[in-house]
Structure 1
C-alpha cells in the first residue's frame, strides 16, 4: 500500500513538473523563461534549460544578457557531452564578443571542447590538431593566465597523440617491408619528420628504434654499390640511439644490429 501511495505521489510530481515546463514553452514572457532556464541549468536539467535559452536568445540579441545566454548554452551542451555543439557556441561567442567578459574563458573552453572530442589515435586527427592550435593560441594570447600550466599540459598531451599517430604510420610502413616498393624508406621519413615536429614527445625512443630497424632492413636489401654506405648510416643510427638511451628498452636490438653489421662490413669493403 505504501509503495502504491509513493508511486502515485511521484507520478503527480512528474505530471506537475511537465505541465509547468509545457506552460513555460508556450509563455510569451521572456523574463520568466530566462529565469526558469537558469533555474533548470542550476538544477542540472540541461535539456530543458537549453530549450528555454534557445527560445529567448533572439529576444535578448544585442543585449548584455545575450552573452550570458550563449555562455549558458555552451556549458549546458558540454554537460550533455555534445562537444561539437558546445564548440559552435563558443566560436559564436568569440566572434560576437572579441572583448566580452567571457572571451578568455570561451577561448580556453573552445580548445578544451576540441580536446574532449579528440578521437582514438588510429582515426582522423583533425579535432586533435584543432585542439592543439586552439590551446597554443590561448597561451600565446594569455601568457599570464592562471590556467596556463594546465593548457601547456594539454598541448604536450596532444603533441604526444599526434606523434603516436605518426609512430603507428611508421610501424605500418616497416611491417609492409618491400611490399610494392621500399616501405622501409617511408618508415624512416615518417619517423624522422615526427621527431622534427615533436622533439620532446614521450614516443621519441620508439620513433628512433623504428628508424634504426628500418635503415637496417633497407641496407640488407640494398644493391651492392649502395650497401656499404647504408650499413655505415645504420651503424651511426645505432650509436645515436645508444648515446641518447644508454639503458633504453631497445638497447639489445641496437647492439644486435651493430654486431651483425660490424661483422659483415669488411666483406662489403672487400667487394
Structure 2
C-alpha cells in the first residue's frame, strides 16, 4: 500500500505540486478497507471494520475537504484518532487534519498536527509532506520586514529540516526556494535596523547589523547594500582600511552595482580607493579571491 495514494500533494496557494483528486483519495481508502492493508502482515487491523466507523468518518472528512468545509473535516479526522488511535486510519487522518487546517487558514493547528505526525511517524513516506505543511504554515504568516520576524525564522528552520531530513523528496526544491525567500526577509529586517542606527550615527550598532547580513545572509539580495553601508559606517568612524575592504569586496563581486559606485565615490572624496585587506573579517567572510562563497 502506497501512502501517497491518499495524500494531496499541494494546496491552492501557489504550490508546485497539483492536488490529487479527492475521488482518488476515496477510492484508495475504499481499497484500504477491502484489502485490510495486507502489507502490514498478520491479521488485518480492519477485519472488523464494519463495526468501527473510522473508515466512514475518514471518507466523510475527505468529502468535506472537497466541499471546502475544512473545519468540519478536521473534526471528522480528529474523531478517527479518538476512536481508533493506533490504526492506519488514524495516521492518515492526522495528515489530512494537518492539510485541512492549512487549507482553512488555521496555521497554528496545522503546525501542531504536522509536528505531531512527524514525531509519531518519522519513517512514513508522508513525513516529508507533513513537514512541508508545517513550513508552509509558517510561511503563509510571514510579516513585512517592519514587524517581528519570528515566523520567518521558524519557517526557515522548518524548510531547512526538509532539506536535511528529506533531501531527495519532491518537496526539497520547493523548500529551498521558500527558504531563500524567508532568509531574504530576515536579512531585510537586519538591514532596516542597521539603517536606523546608521541614521542615528550609532555606527557600531549599525555595523553589527550589516555584519550579520554579510556573514549569515550572504546569498540574499541585501548583501550589496550591506557592503556599502559597512563602507559608510567604517569611514564615518575613521576606520578607513575596513571601509576600503568593504568597498573592494563589493566592487569585485558586483562591479556594475550602483551600491559599488556609491561606495567608490565616498572613498574618492577622501582621497582613497577600494583596497582589500585579506585579514579583515569582511574578506574572510568571502573566498580568498574575494568572490562569493
TM-score band by shorter chain is: 0.7 to 0.9
Residue of structure 1 in register with 2:269 after alignment: 260
Give the gaps of 5 or more residues in structure 1: 1-27, 178-182, 220-229, 264-271
| Aligned: 1:213 with 2:222 | no
CA–CA separation in structure 2 for the residues paired with 1:218 and 1:79: 52
The CA deviation at 1:31 is: 5.2
Q: CA deviation at 1:125?
A: 1.7
Query: Hey, what's the Cα distance between the residues in 1 that align with 2:267 and 2:80?
Result: 72
Distance between the aligned counterparts of 2:196 and 2:54, measured in 1? 58
Cα distance between partner residues in 1 of 2:58 and 2:265 = 71
Larger Rg: 1
Aligned 8 A contact 2:111 2:137 in 1: yes
1:105: which partner in 2?
Answer: 129
Contact 2:159 2:179 in 1 (8 A): yes
1:58-82, Cα deviation, whole Å (9 max, x unpaired): 1021111001211121111111111
Q: Tell me, in whole angstroms, the C-alpha distance in 2 between the residues paired with 1:251 and 1:89.
A: 48
Q: Which whole-Å deviations, capped at 9, do the CAs of 1:148-201 have from their partners, x for residues lacking one?
A: 222111122222111111111111110111xxxxx1121112211221111211
Deviations 1:12-49 (A, max 9, x none): xxxxxxxxxxxxxxxx9555444322221222222222
Alignment-derived partner of residue 194 in structure 1 = 213
- The structure carrying a bigger helix percent of its residues is 1
Report matched runs for 1:218-229 at 5 Å: 218-219=237-238
- Counterparts of 1:59-98 in structure 2, within 5 Å, are 59-98=83-122
Give me the whole-angstrom Cα distance separating, in 1, the residues matched to 2:223 and 2:152: 19
> For the residues of structure 1 that align with 2:124 and 2:247, how far apart are their CA atoms?
55
Q: Against the structure 1 CA distance between its residues 237 and 83, is the aligned structure 2 distance closer, same or farther, given a 3 Å change threshold?
A: same
Q: 1:241 maps to which residue?
A: 250
- The corresponding residue for 1:138 is 162
Q: Normalising to structure 2: TM-score of the pair? A: 0.69
* 2:136 pairs with 1:117: no
- Aligned-pair CA distance for 1:238: 3.0
Contact 2:162/2:171 (<8 A) preserved: no
Equivalent pair of 1:231/1:261 in contact (CA under 8 Å): no
SS of 2:258's partner is coil
1:204 aligns with 2:223: yes
Cα RMSD, aligned residues only: 2.2
User: By how many angstroms is 1:56 displaced?
Assistant: 3.6
Any residues of structure 2 matched to 1:1-40 within 5 Å, and which?
A: 32-40=56-64
From the superposition, tell whether residues 233 and 128 of structure 1 become closer, same or farther in structure 2 (CA, over 3 Å): closer
Question: Using a 3 Å threshold, how does the CA distance of structure 1 residues 145 and 102 change in structure 2: closer, same or farther?
Answer: closer
CA contact (8 A) 1:160 1:198 kept: yes
- Residues 229-249 of structure 1: CA deviation (Å, up to 9, x unaligned): x23443443333333322211
Stretches of structure 2 lacking an aligned partner (at least 5 in a row)? 1-51, 273-293
Q: Which runs of 4+ in 1 moved over 6 A?
A: none
The answer as to whether partners of 1:235 and 1:261 remain within 8 angstroms in 2 is no
1:64 to 1:217, Cα distance in 2 relative to 1, 3 A: same
User: Can you list the C-alpha shifts for 1:195-219, whole angstroms capped at 9, x where unaligned?
Assistant: 1111211111111111111122222
3-state SS of paired residue (2:71): helix
Please name the residue that 1:160 is paired with.
Answer: 184
